[in-house]
């Protein structure tokens, strides 16, 4: 399928703007650039009943931030289901602020509490810090959910891009820890250590997420190339420690036609299916990486948002 016309227009605008790509910037500059651009194409923030910004402990004695979106007044008698969400950004850029509109949308439409995690970023915090922060946040939520008016029996994990990778790891760790998750909501997750697929070759330049930028993100995050072999970084094709995925939570996976990650996302869906994990793979024609945050300019993104909301409602039994 051809590029969506609005997506093509976005790519033309990006090319005309001639801004320096992330891989030519320092991490601090890249974070500022991402934060400045994150809201430009996004939907308008929807109202929710309440928002709480909290600090939670993680295993090395530090604390990280989480933002809790309550779609309705928290009720300890009738708690809401909960989604633990990890933002994208190559483990290097992004924050709860850059993904505020998306988390509001999921909370508002799915009528679930959303807990957005400000895990620590690279290069200040190299692999596997983001992974351990993510699972520590899940353990905290499983433990503290009732105090937040969230039902610990109806939890899901989700994320986009690098955040999707973290959600995958949390789903495996949750199974092993006896935390019952209802869903993995995976929006174009990163799953491969080596960018050798056809989609990476065809879409390495000109489609927003370039091959050079992917490698720059990896260089910020990984301690050295040996980390590429760790399944917590590359759950699709890791050479070391890849778990059996049998028994992990069902997955809903969004893949974009013009995303370099397209082929690894479809391959990961097949990997889960081979492990007899229920999987819904949604391929979005004419779309690029990051399209979930372009709903303010691309009308077709609304259908993808609705698909994600439906997946959450089905998993939580609230359809």
d(CA 288, CA 11): 10
The residue written with tokens 């998993």 in the block is: 315
Q: Is the pLDDT at 80 greater than 90, yes or no?
A: yes
Give strand pairing partners of 280.
252
Instruction: Check if the beta carbon of residue 260 is closer than 8 Å to that of residue 204.
Output: yes
Give strand pairing partners of 255.
283
Q: Compute the average pLDDT of residues 23-45.
A: 97
**Which string of DSSP letters, residue by residue, matches 275-311?**
TT--EEEEEETT--TTGGG-TTT-TTHHHHHHHHHHH
Angstrom distances, CA of residue 182 to CA of 81, 115, 122, 179, 199: 10, 15, 30, 10, 30
Instruction: Give the tens place of pLDDT for each residue, 113-137.
Output: 999 999 999 999 999 999 999 999 9
- Write down the CATH superfamily of domain 5-316: Alpha/Beta hydrolase fold, catalytic domain (3.40.50.1820)
The first and second tokens of residue 165, run together, are 């990778």
* Amino acid 241: pLDDT: 81
Q: Compute the average pLDDT of residues 314-318.
A: 97
Active site residue 262: no
Instruction: Give the tens place of pLDDT for each residue, 10-30.
Output: 999 999 999 999 999 999 999
Instruction: Give the tens place of pLDDT for each residue, 3-12.
Output: 999 999 999 9
Q: Compute the average pLDDT of residues 162-176.
A: 98
Radius of gyration for the alpha carbons in the chain, expressed in angstroms and rounded = 18
Instruction: Give the tens place of pLDDT for each residue, 177-215.
Output: 999 999 999 999 999 999 999 999 999 999 999 999 999
Instruction: Check if the beta carbon of residue 272 is closer than 8 Å to that of residue 249.
Output: no
Active site residue 87: no
Instruction: Give the tens place of pLDDT for each residue, 266-315.
Output: 999 999 999 999 999 999 999 999 999 999 999 999 999 999 999 999 99
* Amino acid 115: pLDDT: 99
Angstrom distances, CA of residue 60 to CA of 45, 129, 132: 34, 10, 9
* Amino acid 242: pLDDT: 82
The residue written with tokens 């024609």 in the block is: 285
Q: What is the pTM of this model?
A: 0.98
Given 80, 95, 116, 161, the catalytic residue: 161
Active site residue 133: no
pLDDT-derived band at 58, boundaries 50, 70, 90: very high
Given 133, 227, 237, 259, the catalytic residue: 259
**Domain boundaries defined on the chain:** 5-316
């Amino acid at each position: 399928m051809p590029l969506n016309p609005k997506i093509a227009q976005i790519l033309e605008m990006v090319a005309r703007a001639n801004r320096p790509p992330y891989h030519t910037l320092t991490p601090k500059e890249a974070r500022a650039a991402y934060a400045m651009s994150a809201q430009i194409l996004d939907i308008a923030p929807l109202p929710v009943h309440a928002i709480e910004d909290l600090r939670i402990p993680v295993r090395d004695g530090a604390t990280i931030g989480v933002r809790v979106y309550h779609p309705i007044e928290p009720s300890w008698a009738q708690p809401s289901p909960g989604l633990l969400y990890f933002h994208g950004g190559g483990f290097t850029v992004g924050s709860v602020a850059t993904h505020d509109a998306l988390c509001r949308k999921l909370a508002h439409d799915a009528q679930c509490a959303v807990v957005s995690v400000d895990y620590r970023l690279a290069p200040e915090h190299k692999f596997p810090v983001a992974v351990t922060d993510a699972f520590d946040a899940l353990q905290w939520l499983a433990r503290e959910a009732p105090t937040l008016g969230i039902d610990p029996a109806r939890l899901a994990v989700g994320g986009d891009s690098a955040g999707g990778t973290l959600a995958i790891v949390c789903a495996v760790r949750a199974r092993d820890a006896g935390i019952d998750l209802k869903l993995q909501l995976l929006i174009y997750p990163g799953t491969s250590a080596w960018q050798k697929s056809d989609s990476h070759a065809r879409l390495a330049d000109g489609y927003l997420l370039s091959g050079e930028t992917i490698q720059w993100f990896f260089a910020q995050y990984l301690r050295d190339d040996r980390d590429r072999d760790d399944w917590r970084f590359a759950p699709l094709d890791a050479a070391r420690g890849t778990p059996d995925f049998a028994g992990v939570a069902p997955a809903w996976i969004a893949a974009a036609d013009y995303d370099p990650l397209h082929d690894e996302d479809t391959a990961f869906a097949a990997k889960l299916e081979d492990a007899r994990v229920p999987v819904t793979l949604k391929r979005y024609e004419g779309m690029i990486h990051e399209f979930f945050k372009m709903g303010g300019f691309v009308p077709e993104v609304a259908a993808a948002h609705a698909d994600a909301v439906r997946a959450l409602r089905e998993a939580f039994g609230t359809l």
